[in-house]
Amino acid sequence: MNPDLEKLQPYPFEKLNALKADSNPLVEGHIALSIGEPKHDAPRFVLDSITNNLGKINRYPLTKGIAELRLAIRDWLIRRFKLTDTLDAEQHILPVNGTREALFSFAHCVIDDKNDSLILMPNPFYQIYEGAAFLSGATPYFYNTVKENNYLPDFDAIDEKIWKRCQIIYICTPGNPTGSVISKQQLARLIELAQEYDFIIASDECYSEIYFDEQNPPTGLLEAAQATGNTDFKNCIIFHSLSKRSNLPGMRSGFVAGDAELIKAYLKYRTYHGSAMPPVHQLASIEAWNDETHVQNNRALYVEKFDAVINILDSVIKVKSPDAGFYLWLNTPVDDEIFAKDLFAQQNVTVLPGSYLSRESDGINPGKDHIRMALVAPLDECITAANRIKQYIQSLNL
Ligand SMILES: Cc1ncc(COP(=O)(O)O)c(C=O)c1O
């Protein structure tokens, strides 16, 4: 057996189930704010496309995807991130089956010098990055994103010795769980560092389409690369998905885009990995990337929920509105595990303790004393959950 498998931590939800195991909630009607699974309706026209194209399942798909899909993604990227037409559907874009598998397998494709290489990742973080580091033979290095810095990374605080060993840095913008968006200036600084120390920036942007101000969408890594004159996106790769944007988590459709050399190597890797997107999903994905109306409507539902929930909680606790994404990252007045356990026992609401999403690094655990709430349930459920959380916080008599 691969000994590195032993290094993989239980998934946060396993820890959560154990935490809740011997509680019997006092209130009827469980509300889960713990899992980040979109729950709004999938677009009808995408479902119709799937139905209409079912017959195409009798063919093997190309790993590279059909040209029409890569073109639709290219056009979407150009529209969304104001890229120029140097972005090329042949060289810069590859469909993947959701960002999770791609974030994981990408590390296996690019890591060399196995004994000394580091993969940098935010802390708290999406656990797949850590698994990718362990199973590619690299060592994870956690850079903290703390309240004092608006839950953003401070790239200049990372030591030169670390940069020298860094082969990949994962960034997550908008962040899960923090909701913080890395600015174009910070991205530009990171690109400068990537050129100086020759590492790859892997930017997980799967929440980029869930934001609150229609005039101010989160910036992306390729947009920042273009602004710095890095128009061939050297050392930069982005990960996008229809899961959150279009409420299609079950379709497993996403893409990676960026540095042509990395895309070429990753395509080679993927042909062996055998992870081509099914033809029906490719066709349905074209429809989804070509439409923005359903994405705007989706955002409007989140705006409504965030306004309502923050409004309720604000009277009992300081709530930081996220820059984007669908999570509230709440600094708790008591230990996060106690908060989550007692909230479940007293109010039948499940939230995720922040320390399940983080590790100790640099002497602190930045997920401690935080909980993550995913506002994915319908508005009325989110409002009920917020009122119950308010009651629980009031019961703490702080
Ligand atoms: C930060 C982050 N990245 C990636 C993913 C994977 O999403 P998908 O594989 O559906 O694109 C998730 C899912 O919750 C996530 O939270």
Closest ligand 1 atom, residue 172 Cα: 1
How far is the centre of ligand 1, averaged over its atoms, from the C-alpha of 96 (Å)? 12
Of 149, 153, 96, which is closest to residue 120 (Cα–Cα)?
Answer: 153
pLDDT for 398: 77
d(CA 293, CA 288): 10
Q: Tell me the DSSP string of 192-249.
A: HHHHHHT-EEEEE-TTTT-BS-TT-PPP-HHHHHHHTT-TT-TTEEEEEEHHHHTT-G
221 C-beta neighbours (distance < 10 Å), count = 29
pLDDT for 397: 80
Closest ligand 1 atom, residue 254 Cα: 11
Pocket lining for ligand 1, CB < 6 angstroms: 36, 98-100, 126, 172, 176, 204, 206, 241, 243, 249, 254
How far is the centre of ligand 1, averaged over its atoms, from the C-alpha of 27 (Å)? 32
The tally of CA atoms less than 13 A away on the side-chain side of residue 234 is 10
pLDDT for 29: 95
d(CA 214, CA 187): 21
d(CA 142, CA 121): 5
Listed as ranges, residues in the chain with pLDDT below 70 are 113-115
What is the b/e burial string over 68-94, where b = at least 16 CB atoms within 10 angstroms of the residue's CB?
A: ebbebbbebbeebbebeeebebebbbb
Q: Tell me the DSSP string of 52-97.
A: HTGGGGGSPPPTT--HHHHHHHHHHHHHHHT--TT--TTTSEEEES
24 C-beta neighbours (distance < 10 Å), count = 7
Closest ligand 1 atom, residue 176 Cα: 1
Q: What is the phi/psi pair of residue 187, to 5°?
A: -65, -40
d(CA 222, CA 173): 12
pLDDT for 114: 63
Q: Tell me the DSSP string of 138-191.
A: -EEEEEE--GGGTT---GGGS-HHHHHHEEEEEEESS-TTT-----HHHHHHHH
d(CA 57, CA 100): 23
Residue to probe by mutation, ligand 1, list 13, 34, 39, 99, most atoms within 8 Å of CB: 99
d(CA 131, CA 122): 14
Shortest-distance Cα residue to atom 2 of ligand 1: 126
pLDDT for 360: 97
For the record, the structure tokens of 193 come out as 């560092």
Closest ligand 1 atom, residue 36 Cα: 14
- Tokens 């709440």 correspond to 330
Residue to probe by mutation, ligand 1, list 103, 123, 182, 241, most atoms within 8 Å of CB: 241
How far is the centre of ligand 1, averaged over its atoms, from the C-alpha of 206 (Å)? 6
For the record, the structure tokens of 317 come out as 């606790």
Secondary structure (3-state) at 21:
coil
Residue to probe by mutation, ligand 1, list 34, 130, 206, 242, most atoms within 8 Å of CB: 206
d(CA 68, CA 74): 10
